[in-house]
Amino acid sequence: MDNGCPVIVMSRLPGDSLGASPLTPNQVAAVGEAMGTMYRAVPQEHLDELTDRISGPAEMIGELRSWCRQPHNSQSALVQRALTVGSRWVEDPDVDALMCPTADRVFTQGDGNLGNLIWDGLRCSVVDFEDSGISDPAYEVADLLEHVSVWLRDLIDEDQLVAHLGFSPAQLGRLTQFRRLMALFWLLMLLPGNRGHTRNPPGSDERQAQRLLDLLA
């Protein structure tokens, strides 16, 4: 506070953004520690004072259902098959359960880009909170693991990160469903005419299609 008025103070964190190369085991552990610390940062009794994160589960499912009902431009049989299977899956009534808030509600940064984690050689810090809010931790981990900039380049040991976070069986079940959701989102983003198509290497849409099919198997 400054003379009774709130102020925002910014500072530069030491270190470099992760994502330039595959993470070492120590870095994966530090990512898990940073995420866990963030999830515990806001006491449970104060969570209701905050809004949900941008593009949370309910918003994402509604957007994907609408997006999947539109015609799509792809000449790849693999991509078309993945779109068909993914569109059928996201319309399943069982997916509606992912929209419902669970007891596992935490404060989160709301962006799965690994570049938003700063490594100083010992620990990770989280930056870029413009989309932050309340969310399900399983949704947030899915957002990171399925981010196209992460999995296409095999940047993180998925099993190691999940193990470090110590998810319960129920959380692991939701994590699987949310990863399918994110994989479908990225497949749509990578289609010709969408903004992810030209930002990624040729063939990324087919790799993403196979990724989605594997997650839905």
φ, ψ (nearest 5 deg) of residue 161: -65, -45
Nearest-angstrom CA–CA distance, 157 and 29: 10
Nearest-angstrom CA–CA distance, 86 and 144: 20
Q: Residue 63 corresponds to which amino acid? A: E
Tens digit of each residue's pLDDT, the chain (217 residues): 577 777 777 777 788 999 999 999 999 999 999 999 999 999 988 988 899 999 999 999 999 999 999 988 788 999 999 999 999 999 999 999 998 877 788 999 998 899 999 999 999 999 988 899 999 999 999 999 999 999 999 999 999 999 999 999 999 999 999 999 999 999 999 998 888 888 889 899 999 999 999 999 9
pLDDT at 1: 59
Q: Could you give all domains of the chain from N- to C-terminal order, each with its CATH number? A: 16-216 (3.90.1200.10)
Q: Name residues whose C-beta falls within 8 Å of residue 11's C-beta, 6 or more positions apart in sequence.
A: none
C-beta atoms surrounding 155 within 10 Å: 20
Q: Based on the number of CB atoms within 10 Å of its own CB, is 159 exposed (0-12), middle (13-18) or buried (19 or more)?
A: exposed
